[in-house]
Amino acid sequence: METFQIVATPLLLTLKISIIATFFVTVLGILIAYILAKKEFPGKWAADVIVTLPMVLPPTVTGYILVILLGKNGMLGSIFTRITGNGILFTWQAAAIAAFVVSLPLMVKTTTSAIGAVDRSIEEAARILGRNELETALFITLPLAKKGIIAGCVLSFARAVGEFGATLMIAGNIPGRTNTMTISIYSAYQTGNSELANLLVLILVAISFLTIAATGRLAER
């Protein structure tokens, strides 16, 4: 029973954080990807670089930047503290933000490529037939790019589940509150509890395998 509790707590926390992060990554990622794929505007390359940056930065650097932004005196942290009266660092919400930040580039890059590959003549035909840009995007472009979007969601979810460095920086390792699966694996290894570490690793591998397999079948259908 004790082992079950030790495993269940970080597992449920990881799933909650990953699902929430993936939801916001999907919504915002599709919007950003559509703009990058279909629009031309000054500073487009800079926007692309900023979105991609967390994918190439070391996780600890990303985490440090988030600490600066989300601290009580930070640009975003001060607003949050003013509204709620509490800081956001070292909470599960901070872990969700870290997962969101590191996962977003994967969603944007994959979806941008998928949207950019849609035949423009089909979109133009839809507009000739009276569809406006929003209707064309919702009913033509995004459905045709759905496999890329699904792939982006899967990669983002997997990245959120496996996030470690940035999460440890801004959320810490608080048992029952911020100890995700990856952090629990690290703690178990540090304390020499290889049995627990092996069990947690197997669960993470199983989750990743099942997610990718199920999504592949869905994309085929």
Evaluate if residue 1 carries a pLDDT over 70. no
Q: CA 51 to CA 54: how far, in whole Å? A: 7
Contact call for residues 103 and 166 (beta carbons, < 8 A): no
Confidence of residue 221 (pLDDT cuts 50, 70, 90): low
Cβ-based neighbours of 164, under 8 Å, separated by 6 or more: 59, 180, 182, 183, 186
Q: How many helices (H) and strands (E) does the chain have?
A: 12, 0
Q: List, for residues 165-190, the tens digit of each pLDDT value.
A: 899 999 988 888 889 999 999 999 98
Q: What confidence score (pLDDT) does residue 5 get?
A: 76
Contact call for residues 189 and 175 (beta carbons, < 8 A): no
Give Cα separations from 88 to 9, 152, 175, 177, 198 (angstroms).
Answer: 21, 28, 17, 13, 31
Evaluate if residue 215 carries a pLDDT over 80. no
Q: Tell me the HSE value of 119 on the side-chain side, using a 13 A CA sphere.
A: 4
Q: List, for residues 105-140, the tens digit of each pLDDT value.
A: 999 999 999 999 998 888 889 888 888 888 999 899
Q: CA 154 to CA 71: how far, in whole Å? A: 30
Confidence of residue 23 (pLDDT cuts 50, 70, 90): very high
DSSP letter (8 states) at residue 139: I
Contact call for residues 158 and 211 (beta carbons, < 8 A): yes
Domains and CATH numbers, the chain: 2-220 (1.10.3720.10)
Straight-line distance from the first to the last Cα atom of the chain, in angstroms, rounded to the nearest whole number: 40
